[in-house]
Amino acid sequence: MPNAIITATGSFLPPREVPNSVFLSHRFFGADGKLQERANPAIVAKLEEITGIRARRYASEAMTTSDLALAAAERALEGVDRERLDYLIVAHNFGDVHVSTRRTDQVPNIASRVKQRLRIENPYTVAYDLPFGCPGWLLAMIQANYFIRSGDARRALVIGVELASRVVDPHDMDCMIFADGAGAAILEAGEGPGGILAHATRSDTLIHGQLLRMGPSYNPERPADELWVKMDGHKIYKYAVRTVPQVARQVLEKAGCTLKDVSKVLVHQANEKMDQAILNRLVALCGDEDLPADIMPMTIGWAGNSSVATLPTMLDLICRRKLPPHQISSGDLLLFASVGAGMHISCVLYKVP
């Protein structure tokens, strides 16, 4: 049975950097529709303290989600015969959202648009989308892994992309968290000990399903039929810190590994304090201490939270040695973890061949 090996990666981070100072001129409202009493400098400083975000990346007005996905795909496909792709999977949440309308456009799906623009003629390159919140790219990797291990496929391109800046309420303090970006990985059938060793996914919808949702602007002057991203940040934080480490430990146990065996823990870049709390909780659950100081790379401080795109983007930066001092070597174990709207969690343990 072949293993699914990551043979190439690519990413696209928009060049436009948006510092926290941009939000000093915003009018922020609470969920009750009342103007925030705190001064903007205090609001912005508090957000930076909690999330670690100093800046984020926004796409240009001319770009859409499929543009970002295409850019990451082209970088991953450098030197690769794209006609031999069996699957092209795009994980995202909002489709193409144009500046002029702010409406979600997902027909045809993003994967079909990317395949068309890559000029792939092969009709058996199956192109489909996967909306699964922030863990979407990981779930797409899990699916591609099964296609390859079953013999149904030899090569798959998996993209995680988000253009979140178009769907955040400019009058909600949480708008400062989100960012834009895209990352991609190519999985190919290979032999040997490398590949996905174990994975786990869960969906806690009964109680937590609406912690992250779409809703009207907090500004009562905005049209009520406009929909923007809304979240119960504190509840999400508590859920993630309690639950993600449990799933991560489950994956380690499935693979017969310990946390000390892991070279890097790549956690969805949602909140710097939350990610650190997740790692601390995982350490406590596993009983493994004295981990390397650089075991958990972070990009959120300068790239923000690009949702589905954070993990594949970070992986590509490390593979290309653009996130010093982090690097990946043959034999390394990478533990991926992500949590997002649903609420969904996916974790994957991958061995570098």
Question: Any idea which residues carry the catalytic annotation?
Answer: 134, 268, 305
152: closest CA among 247, 241, 87, 99? 87
14: closest CA among 77, 51, 67? 67
DSSP letters, 232-251, are -HHHHHHHHHHHHHHHHHHH
Identify whether the C-beta of residue 90 lies closer than 8 Å to the C-beta of residue 131: no
- Name residue 178's beta-bridge partners: 305
As a whole number of angstroms, the distance between CA 267 and CA 348 comes to 11
Helix (H, G, I), strand (E, B) or coil at 139: helix
As a whole number of angstroms, the distance between CA 315 and CA 306 comes to 14
Counting Cα atoms < 13 Å in the Cβ hemisphere of 314 gives 31
29: closest CA among 211, 164, 220? 220
Q: Give the CA diameter of the chain.
A: 61
Q: What is the DSSP letter of 257?
A: -
Alpha-carbon 213 to chain mean position: 17
- Look at the block and give the residue holding tokens 């499929």: 66
Identify whether the C-beta of residue 184 lies closer than 8 Å to the C-beta of residue 144: no
331: closest CA among 262, 252, 259? 262
- Name residue 57's beta-bridge partners: 17
Q: What is the DSSP letter of 176?
A: G
Identify whether the C-beta of residue 106 lies closer than 8 Å to the C-beta of residue 65: no
Token digits for 143?
């699916």
